[in-house]
C-alpha cells in the first residue's frame, strides 16, 4: 500500500535567471523566462502606500488584506451578471455561470432612497465620496478607503500625463 504524503513537496531552490533575475524551477532552462534577455516585462512602480498595505504587518495592513475583496469592489464600475447556480452539495463551494455573461452598469445616479454603488460612487456627491464608499460595507475603514482613493487618483493623473 502506498504511503500518503503527510507534508507538502518542496521544490529545490535554483539560482535566479542570469538575464532577468526571475525565480526558476529546478529543470527550467536558463533564459527560458525572458528568451535570454530579449523580452522585458514593463513594470510601473507600486505606490508606497499600496505596497505598505500589501506587505507590512501593521494592523491596518492586515485588516486591508483580510477585506481586500471588499475594498476592490468599492472601485468597480460594474457588477457581474448571468444565470448562476450557487447551490453547494457536498464538497467545496463552486460558483457556476451558464449562458451569457454580462456586466451590470447602473445609472449614473442612485434610485431614490438607495445609496450609491459601483460606477455611481465616482459621480454622486464627490464631496462625500470617501464616506459613501466606506459606508458600503460595515467592515471597511474610511482612512484605508481614503488612502486607496488617493492612490487611484495619482495613478490616473500619472497615466493621463503619459498620453
pLDDT in tens, 62-113: 999 999 998 888 888 777 777 877 676 677 777 777 788 888 777 777 888 8
- Segment 120-130 shows an average pLDDT of 71
- Look at residue 155 in the predicted model and tell me its pLDDT: 78
C-alpha cell read off for 48: 508606497
Integer CA distances (angstroms), 17 to 12, 36, 40, 41, 101, in order = 15, 9, 13, 14, 40
Looking at the fold, whether 74 and 110 belong to one and the same domain comes out as yes
State the Cα–Cα distance between residues 62 and 103, nearest whole angstrom. Answer: 31
Q: Indicate the number of domains in the chain.
A: 2
Label residue 36 left, alpha or beta by phi (over 0 means left) and psi (-120 to 50 means alpha). Answer: left
Domain residues for 34? 10-43
Is the residue at 5 inside a domain? no
- Look at residue 125 in the predicted model and tell me its pLDDT: 64
Contacts of 131 (CB under 8 A, 6+ apart): 142
Share of the chain above pLDDT 90, in %: 22
Q: How far is CA 125 from the centre of its chain?
A: 25
Amino acid at each position: 500500500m502506498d504511503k500518503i504524503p503527510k507534508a507538502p513537496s518542496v521544490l529545490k531552490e535554483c539560482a535566479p535567471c542570469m538575464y532577468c533575475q526571475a525565480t526558476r524551477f529546478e529543470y527550467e532552462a536558463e533564459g527560458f523566462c525572458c528568451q535570454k534577455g530579449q523580452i522585458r516585462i514593463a513594470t510601473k512602480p507600486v505606490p508606497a502606500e499600496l505596497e505598505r498595505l500589501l506587505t507590512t504587518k501593521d494592523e491596518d495592513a492586515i485588516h486591508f488584506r483580510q477585506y481586500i475583496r471588499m475594498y476592490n469592489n468599492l472601485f468597480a464600475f460594474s457588477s457581474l451578471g448571468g444565470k448562476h447556480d450557487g447551490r453547494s452539495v457536498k464538497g467545496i463551494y463552486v460558483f457556476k455561470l451558464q449562458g451569457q455573461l454580462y456586466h451590470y452598469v447602473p445609472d449614473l445616479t442612485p434610485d431614490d432612497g438607495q445609496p450609491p454603488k459601483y460606477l455611481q460612487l465616482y459621480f454622486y456627491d464627490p464631496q462625500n465620496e470617501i464616506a459613501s464608499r466606506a459606508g458600503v460595507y460595515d467592515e471597511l475603514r474610511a482612512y484605508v478607503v481614503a488612502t486607496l482613493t488617493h492612490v487611484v487618483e495619482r495613478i490616473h493623473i500619472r497615466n493621463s500625463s503619459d498620453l
